[in-house]
Amino acid sequence: MISRKKLAIIAITASSLFLSTNPAFAGTTLNGSGATFASPLIDACKSDYAADTGNTINYTGGGSGKGRTDFTGGLVDFAGSDAPYSSGAPSNLIYAPIYAAPLALMYNLPTVKEPIYLTPKTIAKIFSGVITKWNDPAIVADNERVVKTPIYKTKKIKVKVKGKKNKFTTKTVPALDSKGQAIVASYDTKTISVDLPSEIITVWYRSDPSGSTENFGRFLKGANAGANSSVWPKAQNQSFNAMLPSNGGVFYYFQAASGSAAVSAGVKNKVGSITYSELSFATANKLPVAYVQNANGEFVEPAAAGTSIFLGGGTINANGTVDVDFAKKIPGAYPIGTASYGMAYSSGKDAAKQAAVASWFTYVLEKCASKYPEKGFSQITGPLAAKAKEQIAKIK
């Protein structure tokens, strides 16, 4: 016969199990806005999260600037930003580094059937209007040379097929070391000779306040320090126009659009165009991307592996943000790898929504990038993942 004490223990245990699988915040709707950088991963993963938790994620994008404005105004439950506040941050702000991906240089040159290779100095001259044609001697020199490119170690993982019960597929992802960084297995060294057309370059840039713009500007200045500092002397800014050098560049062929999707579509629809945007937008538009030279002299394609290596060479700050070092010689690093932040409130909000925000951030951090490797986002592990979890734990 079971005693009353044992029955009580069984009842408590059953109740605990029920609560663990049916959290108090189930059925919560979360509204967010901000970085369009994060949109491809959020759009891919939010239905999985809804199926697993019963919660709904509404994320409108709009750019990092809009995300910070909405967050400051208390208009959202969470926000996304590719760059921290430069000033005016709310006192109850929490940064959680839960997204990471490369900013890619995507272009439209249908007559060029092989990848192009670009140095930071050439990139700065293109985006400052100093170089205006694709067969400019500087671009030709970048593409008539011996190049060294890293090849990364990979592994295969099983991933559940979306919408198919008990059905899985195999996907290839970067193999990571104990610090959460990809592993360079070998290098490919070859002589390239790319035939470039006499085509006007149309530069597409973000018209909205953009974290992607700010991070791209950080790269343009940081990777062109020292002898090349004059090619992009101004500090990063969320406004592209505000950081353009005063170097006599030609801007007749510059085109502005709001959001990553719009600038990427602009490139797709106009031959000769180039822009900077998260890799997934290049994939969606079937646009080729440039290999970019890092401080170690290697030319690296924009991908999750090179991004994890680059960010692994950065400094994790106490507030969860990451400072990167463009001058540091990091083998295998893609030099425009970017960490992006989920922003949450530490206090003063509905408890159920706060619990759901913490749950959503954890889900993105631990599951989304590995579920959808084709989106180009890096799986955050190692010290940066530990810091992200520490920050998420502060959401009360």
Domains of the chain: 25-102+338-392 (3.40.190.10), 103-154+178-303+325-331 (3.40.190.10)
pLDDT at 24: 59
User: Does residue 284 register a pLDDT over 70?
Assistant: yes
Residue 23: predicted pLDDT:
59
Beta strands 315-316 and 299-300: pairing type? unpaired
Strand duo 273-278 + 202-206: pairing? parallel
Give the least confident one: 68-72, 165-169, 182-186: 165-169
CA distance 72 to 66: 10
264-276 as b/e, with b when 16 or more CB fall inside 10 Å?
bbbbbeeebbbbb
Measured distance CA(38)–CA(380) in Å, rounded: 14
Model pLDDT, residue 316: 96
With beta carbons less than 8 A apart as the criterion, state whether 143 and 196 touch.
yes
| DSSP three-state, residue 26 | coil
Separation of alpha carbons 44 and 8, rounded Å? 43
Quote the percentage of the chain above a pLDDT of 70. Answer: 93
| pLDDT over 50 (residue 13) | no
Answer yes or no: is pLDDT of 178 > 80: no
Mean pLDDT of 274-299: 97
Residue 20 pLDDT grade (very low, low, confident, very high; cuts 50, 70, 90)? very low
Ramachandran angles phi, psi of 200, nearest 5°: -65, 135
Q: What is the mean predicted confidence (pLDDT) over 155-178?
A: 81
The residue-averaged pLDDT of 39-63 equals 95
| Nearest Cα to Cα of residue 116 among 270, 292, 285 | 292
Coil, strand, or helix at residue 224? Answer: coil
Neighbours of 256 (CB within 10 A): 15
Q: What is the mean pLDDT of residues 8-13?
A: 37
Dihedral angle sign, alpha carbons of residues 385, 174, 37, 310: positive
**What tokens does 337 get?**
């790898």
Strand partners, 155: 173
Would you state the structure tokens that stand for residue 345, as one six-digit string? 């409130």
- pLDDT per position as a tens digit, 86-100: 999 999 999 999 999
